[in-house]
Chain A
Amino acid sequence: MKPCTKALPAFVLFALLIVRSGYAQESPYFVTYDHHMEEPGNLEIETSSTTDVPRTGQKFFLAPWTELEYGVTANWTAELYLDGQATQGDSTIFTGWRLENRFRPFKREHWINPVLYLEYENINEADRIQKEVEGGAPDVSSPNSTLRRKQDQELETKLILSSDVHDWNLAGNFTATKNFSQHEGFEFGYSVGFYRPLATLASGSNCRLCRENFSAGMEIYGGLGSTLNLGLNDTAHYVAPVLAWLVSDNATLRFSPGFGLTHESCPVLFRFGYSYEVQGLGSKLARLFRRKQE
């Protein structure tokens, strides 16, 4: 395993060197998905973090994750997530990985555009990125050494409905998750959001602080219980303004403070994200390998 582990960063660096950067006009959502897929052949590398304002007696934590999003085709996007977590006065650990696929069944734009989402998660109970909320808030009191022993293998599905109306994006997601490691039944969650760019006409200059490079909106997400306890009891809900800034042609910064609406929610969640998009990775790699075969 060791040679492979060493070779992977070198491979990623090499891939970055042979490709050009791309335009990364990303949606500002952290939790909600819209119907816009990754352009075919492009790879988006994103690093984000979730942190919260701890309640009395709780410790501060930071839950970073790295996301590799690849446009396999114009209507199929695949993503690999690597999650981690660091708690003040405790430890920093790797909490698991996720493999996600999104399929857009219709070729054309419609009033409402459905996207099907399927994700396999292999994470432990110390995972706190809260990329989706189904039940209550994660356990932030127990030590990492205890939480990391509890492994979860989950299959998560989403129905994504999204629409672009007069430069506004409106999106709603319904989530159903099955944890194969525990007898929890199916868990359900939701998220809805909207955003709009602050300007809808591009200027001729390459200004970075122009309004056209910013988009802002709001998302609301939370749990809907499970088949064992359906309803809003003991579930977390958040309302979160979202902001994205296109800092360069290939990089986007995102920020979102999420405010807990129920006692089961964290009081405030802060999320930060930085994404970098590289164009044409697939075709360039294919060409590279084809050349070697000749």
Chain B
Amino acid sequence: MRTLILTGSCTLALITAMLAQNTLYWPDPSWRAPETMAGKLNPLADKLWARPGGKKLFLRNCAECHDKDGNGQVKKHSADLQLAVVQQQTDGELFWKITNGNTGRGMPSFSKLPELERWQLVLFLRTLKVTEFQR
């Protein structure tokens, strides 16, 4: 009986924590890549054959929050990756942001992906300027 009450309390605590989650997004001006990383070049920049793999990774890892075409989900207030403020960043900056995330604002770190896969993601992000899904 006591175990059941405790288990019920724990489940309730987990549900409360779920409901308390903040899904709002707003740009974070303090989230900046160090200069050493900003200048880093994408080793896959001229390897267009790697782009479909980037798209697959994007749909698996990023589309949940940023939507399939990267425009950010209005309801979740996620970043719109088609915006100039994102696309004007260097490959190195985008790579650094994918790697580190911005955990205080809900963007997780994707350092668990191999380095080349993170560069593949950057490669695909560049195609979002002219959204592939609108074609």
A residues in contact with B29, CB < 8 Å: none
Q: Which of A23, A109, A166, A283 contacts B21 (CB 8 A)?
A: A283
Least distance between A15 CB and chain B CB atoms (Å): 10
Bitwise interface map of B from 93 to 135 toward A, beta carbon under 8 Å scored 1, else 0? 0000001111110111101111111001000000000000000
B residues in contact with A109, CB < 8 Å: 99-100, 109, 111
B10–A202 CB distance below 8 A: no
Least distance between A206 CB and chain B CB atoms (Å): 7
B residues in contact with A5, CB < 8 Å: 4
Q: Which of A4, A78, A283, A289 contacts B17 (CB 8 A)?
A: A78
Task: Check: A92 CB closer than 8 A to any chain B CB.
Answer: no
Asked if A25 meets B115 with Cβ closer than 8 Å, knowing A41-B23, A74-B107, the reply is: no
Least distance between B109 CB and chain A CB atoms (Å): 6
Asked if A73 meets B117 with Cβ closer than 8 Å, knowing A80-B11, A204-B53, the reply is: no
Task: Check: B76 CB closer than 8 A to any chain A CB.
Answer: yes
Asked if A99 meets B10 with Cβ closer than 8 Å, knowing A39-B108, A74-B108, the reply is: yes
Complex CA distance for A27 and B113, rounded to whole angstroms:
11
A residues in contact with B75, CB < 8 Å: 287
Asked if A23 meets B106 with Cβ closer than 8 Å, knowing A108-B100, A167-B114, the reply is: no
Task: Check: A164 CB closer than 8 A to any chain B CB.
Answer: yes
Bitwise interface map of B from 30 to 58 toward A, beta carbon under 8 Å scored 1, else 0? 00000000000000000001111111110
B103–A104 CB distance below 8 A: yes
Asked if A206 meets B108 with Cβ closer than 8 Å, knowing A281-B18, A289-B19, the reply is: no
Q: Which of A71, A202, A206, A286 contacts B54 (CB 8 A)?
A: A202
Closest to A68 in B: B14
A residues in contact with B76, CB < 8 Å: 283
Q: Which of A4, A70, A281 contacts B8 (CB 8 A)?
A: A4
Closest to A283 in B: B23
A residues in contact with B55, CB < 8 Å: 204
A201–B17 CB distance below 8 A: no
Bitwise interface map of A from 160 to 190 toward B, beta carbon under 8 Å scored 1, else 0? 0000101101000000000000000000000
Task: Check: B3 CB closer than 8 A to any chain A CB.
Answer: yes
Complex CA distance for A100 and B49, rounded to whole angstroms:
43
Complex CA distance for A96 and B6, rounded to whole angstroms:
11
Asked if A166 meets B115 with Cβ closer than 8 Å, knowing A4-B8, A289-B19, the reply is: yes
Least distance between A249 CB and chain B CB atoms (Å): 6
A residues in contact with B7, CB < 8 Å: 97
Task: Check: A114 CB closer than 8 A to any chain B CB.
Answer: no
Bitwise interface map of A from 103 to 118 toward B, beta carbon under 8 Å scored 1, else 0? 0100111000000000
Output the residue of A72, A282, A285 with the most chain B CB within 10 A: A282
B residues in contact with A289, CB < 8 Å: 19
A282–B18 CB distance below 8 A: yes
The 5 closest A-B pairs by CB, nearest first: A204-B52, A202-B53, A200-B114, A74-B103, A23-B60
Additional pairs, 5, CB under 8 Å, beyond known A75-B103, A197-B114, A202-B57? A20-B64, A72-B17, A97-B7, A205-B52, A282-B21
Residues of A within 8 A of B (CB): 1, 4-5, 8, 20, 22-23, 25, 27, 34, 36-37, 39-41, 68, 70-75, 78, 80, 96-97, 99, 104, 107-109, 122, 164, 166-167, 169, 197, 200-206, 249, 279-283, 285-287, 289
Task: Pull 24 A–B residue pairs with CB atoms less than 8 Å apart, ordered by A.
Answer: A1-B8, A5-B4, A20-B64, A22-B60, A23-B60, A36-B111, A40-B21, A73-B21, A97-B6, A97-B7, A104-B103, A109-B100, A109-B111, A164-B112, A197-B114, A201-B117, A202-B56, A204-B51, A204-B52, A204-B55, A280-B64, A283-B76, A285-B18, A286-B21
